[in-house]
Structure 1
Amino acid sequence: MDEAALLQFLLDASRRGYAAGGSVVKVKEADHSTTIVLEVGKWRFHDNYFGGEPYGGREVVFLEGRPVWMAVYYGWVEGASADPERVYVFLQRALREAPAAFPVRGPDEFSEGASTYRNAYEGGVANFSGEETIHEGGRLVYTARYVGGLVDRRPGD
């Protein structure tokens, strides 16, 4: 598999998926989860999450129908005084700024007004873990943790 092609597809999917806000098609599933699916050529992106508040989910990338990459994530708005809608709209804007070198979540840092998004991670697209936070006026209002990487890499799998 071409890792550069995976990175390019992830960058496109990260901007056209959840981060796109109301313009993306979201399907409510019978199990009360929400699914977003994007397809480009031989590539398919499948994001399935539960929540609300807090939320958790997984993203899987398929190449020619086989899973090749995945990420698992869990996040929440901190404290009762933070407005979840405002926090998640800001999160979507930050996620649209995902860097080409690591388009898994948002950039290392993104600020707008009194809000600041930070993404700290270890590893690369093949094997990673990280945490993203949002601060408003210096106060922590959101945290999410994520982990993932390449899957199904053994010959014969």
Structure 2
Amino acid sequence: MDIAALNDFIVEAKANTYVGGGGPVPACRPGSHDIGCQRGPWRYLDSYFGGADFAGQEVVWLDSKPVWAMNYFGRIVEHSLIDGERAGVVIKAALSKMYAEYRRFLGGMEFEHAFGLYADESVGDCSHFSGREVIVVNERRAYELDYRGGLIHP
């Protein structure tokens, strides 16, 4: 597995789906919201449930074989500080910068926005990782998301 090629495709896919406003694809499970993309032998699907509080999974296939996955759970911690719409605006702006400028999808960055401070920290690399993103408003954690994932081996 070419990890650099996988990382590049993940960044491209994420930039073109949730962050880039990519259109939905048919739901693969009842009640799920699914967005995805494909380039050559690579295919990506992000499938999640919920809205302001949500859970989901992203999967990458290479030549129709699942090779990578990430699970996540996010929630608004303090509804008096931020709502789902504003959190989404902050997250999209921060991730857009991460994908375009740093060409990576794992944390290690902070991003100031009018609606709050976005911070993402992770350990590991594309092959095995875990992390957390938060939005801080008025020095209080208003939103959090935990994620983990890596390569899938048969």
Normalised by the size of structure 2, how large is the TM-score? 0.89
Is the partner of 1:32 in helix, strand or coil?
coil
* Cα distance between partner residues in 2 of 1:128 and 1:66: 21
CA contact (8 A) 2:72 2:146 kept: yes
Partner of 1:123: 124
- Give the drift of 1:114: 5.1
Partner of 1:40: 39
Is the partner of 2:92 in helix, strand or coil?
helix
- Give the drift of 1:107: 5.3
* Cα distance between partner residues in 2 of 1:42 and 1:137: 45
- The count of residues paired between Structure 1 and Structure 2 equals 149
1:44-123 → structure 2 map (5 Å cutoff)? 44-81=43-80, 82-98=82-98, 99-100=102-103, 102-104=104-106, 108-113=109-114, 115-123=116-124
- The residue type paired with residue 64 of structure 1 is D
CA contact (8 A) 2:19 2:92 kept: yes
- Give the drift of 1:28: 5.9
**Structure 1: segments with no counterpart, 5+ residues:** none
- Give the drift of 1:139: 2.4
* Cα distance between partner residues in 1 of 2:135 and 2:36: 26
* Cα distance between partner residues in 2 of 1:28 and 1:14: 18
Query: C-alpha offsets along residues 98-117 of structure 1, whole Å, 9 cap, x if unaligned?
Result: 332x414x551111235211
Q: 1:57 to 1:114 in 2, by over 3 A?
A: closer
Cα RMSD for the two superposed structures: 1.6
* Cα distance between partner residues in 2 of 1:68 and 1:147: 15
Q: 1:92 to 1:83 in 2, by over 3 A?
A: same
Partner of 1:11: 11
Is the partner of 1:6 in helix, strand or coil?
helix
CA contact (8 A) 1:47 1:60 kept: yes
**Structure 2: segments with no counterpart, 5+ residues:** none
Is the partner of 2:79 in helix, strand or coil?
coil
* Cα distance between partner residues in 1 of 2:93 and 2:26: 23
Normalised by the size of structure 1, how large is the TM-score? 0.87
Identity over aligned pairs, percent = 36
Query: C-alpha offsets along residues 28-78 of structure 1, whole Å, 9 cap, x if unaligned?
Result: 636111111100111100110000131000000001110111100000011
